[in-house]
C-alpha cells in the first residue's frame, strides 16, 4: 500500500528542512537566504527516490520556526542529553533532525507527536544505519511525553 501524496509531500518538506538546517549549521547563512536558495534552485532534486514535491510553505515554516524558536528548542534538547554532553557535540545531521522534529512537536500541535516522530525516524534511516536512529527516536519520544505532560497537567508519569 502506498502512502498518501500529502504524507509524501510532508516527508519531502521535512527532509528539505533538515538539509537546510544542516547547511545553515555548517556554513552559516541567514534562514531567509537559505530558504530562497532551496525554493529557487534545489526543489525537484531534494527527494528523488519518492519523486515527491516539497510543500514550500510547510518547508519555510519548519526552517523559520526552528530559527525563531531555536533557544527554546535547544533547551528542550539539551535537557535530554547526558550530563556533560552539550548539544554542539551531537552530529550536525542528528542535530538538524532533532531541531526540526522538536519544533513540530512543541509548536505544531495540529500534527500528532507519534506521526512526527515516525516521520523523522524514517528520515533518519536515510542518513544512518546505527545507534543514531534509536537516539533520535528516544530523544523525540522523551520530549513528546514532556510536552504532553505540560499540556495536560499530568504529573509523576
Q: Among residues of the chain, what percentage have pLDDT more than 90?
A: 66
Query: Is the pTM for the entire model greater than 0.85?
Result: yes
For 129, which DSSP code? S
Model pLDDT for residues 33-53, shown as the tens digit of each residue: 999 999 888 776 544 444 568
Residue spans per domain, the chain: 5-151
The number of angstroms, rounded, from the C-alpha of 59 to the middle of its chain's C-alpha atoms is 11
Q: What is the mean pLDDT of the chain?
A: 87
What is the pLDDT at residue 13? 94
Instruction: Give me 78's grid cell.
Output: 539539551
pLDDT band at 9 (very low <50, low <70, confident <90, very high): confident
Q: Phi-psi bin for 43: left (phi > 0), alpha (psi -120 to 50), beta?
A: beta
What is the pLDDT at residue 156? 47
For 155, which DSSP code? -
What is the pLDDT at residue 110? 87
Average pLDDT over residues 66-86: 92
Q: CA dist 70 to 48, 117, 118, 127, 129, Å? A: 29, 19, 22, 23, 27
Whether the pLDDT of residue 3 is over 60: the answer is no
Q: 5-151 has which CATH code?
A: 1.10.940.10
DSSP letters for 26-65: HH---HHHHHHHIIIIITTSTTTTTTPPP-HHHHHHHHHH
Amino acid at each position: 500500500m502506498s502512502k498518501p501524496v500529502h504524507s509524501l509531500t510532508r516527508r519531502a518538506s521535512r527532509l528539505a528542512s533538515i538539509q537546510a538546517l544542516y547547511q545553515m549549521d555548517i556554513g552559516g547563512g541567514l534562514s531567509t537566504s537559505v530558504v530562497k536558495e532551496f525554493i529557487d534552485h534545489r526543489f525537484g532534486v531534494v527527494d528523488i527516490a519518492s519523486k515527491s514535491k516539497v510543500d514550500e510553505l510547510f518547508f519555510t515554516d519548519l526552517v523559520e520556526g526552528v530559527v525563531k524558536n531555536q533557544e527554546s528548542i535547544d533547551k528542550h534538547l539539551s535537557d535530554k542529553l547526558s550530563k556533560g554532553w552539550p548539544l554542539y557535540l551531537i552530529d550536525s545531521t542528528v542535530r538538524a533532525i532533532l531541531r526540526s522534529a522538536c519544533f513540530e512537536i512543541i509548536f505544531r500541535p495540529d500534527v500528532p507527536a507519534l506521526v512526527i516522530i515516525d516521520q523523522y525516524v524514517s528520515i533518519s534511516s536515510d542518513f544512518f544505519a546505527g545507534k543514531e536512529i534509536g537516539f533520535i527516536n528516544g530523544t523525540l519520544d522523551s520530549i513528546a511525553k514532556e510536552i504532553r505532560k505540560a499540556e495536560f497537567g499530568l504529573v509523576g508519569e
